[in-house]
Amino acid sequence: MLPRELEEPDYATLGKTALRRMARAGEAMIEAERRLSKAGHSLVERMLVGQGTFEPWTHYPADDVYDYETATQYYYHAHEDRPSEHGHFHLFLRKAAFIPDKTPRRELPSDEEPIAHVVAISMNRMGHPLELFVTNGWVTAENYYAADDLIQALPRWGVDHTHPCLAVNQWLTAAVRFFGPQIEALIRVRDEVLDPLAAKSGWKEVLEARDIEVVARIPVAPEAQMREIISLLGGGPPS
């Protein structure tokens, strides 16, 4: 039954180095939210400033956000068939993020370089994350890289400029680190689901199968996650 529903990771199994890295990322997310709040904005409100009427399926900003130094891309949008959320961010890595000998599962007829969908971050109307999810290839027209290759490239994800908003970019960059265990688990489950299907029907058919949309998802609770990480680190700030 899809989508697969994943449980929260056991943070106690992670080493202190990983926990400190996640705690620092959590602090960066909190700081970005504080700065936005001082200006009277939430994350999603800031994404939509000056963008006109918020319409389903429309990308915000219209031309997406790119950081060519890190081979990173993202956009925010909403679906009419997801009433439980306000919208979600789709995060991508582009070809330059991958080791040169790594190739995607399929090549698409496009003038643009290959892209890999990393994760989607579902947001509520208050601008807080609800869940993370991964999708089948057709959903975002991605080329689709194998789990090991994509996970190896994950540390590259980051947006280090001010368009459309520095605080939003900082929050998303930190979120990839903070939710790292969940993102890795989602990517691996995605391949666990799709690999056997592709072995029977081929990647072209599987990645275009419209009856497979969201492959796996996991709810997130950043405040509770941060409390547990700090507790596992002995209650002090990350060094």
What's residue 81's pLDDT? Answer: 81
Q: Where are the domains of the chain?
A: 17-231
Closest CA to 79 of 213, 176, 228: 213
pLDDT tens track of the chain, all 239 residues?
899 999 999 999 999 999 999 999 999 999 999 999 999 999 999 999 988 899 999 999 999 999 999 999 999 999 988 888 999 999 999 999 999 888 898 888 777 788 999 999 999 999 999 999 999 999 999 999 999 999 999 999 999 999 999 999 999 999 999 999 999 999 999 999 999 999 999 999 999 999 999 999 999 999 999 999 999 999 866 76
Of 145, 201, 154, give the one whose Cα is nearest residue 175: 154
Entry field: residues in the chain:
239
Q: Give whole-number Cα distances, 156 to 66, 98, 180, 202, 220, in Å.
A: 13, 9, 12, 29, 22
3-state secondary structure of 17: helix
Rounded to two decimals, the pTM is 0.96
Q: Could you give the residue ranges of the DSSP H alpha helices within 100-157?
A: 137-140, 147-153
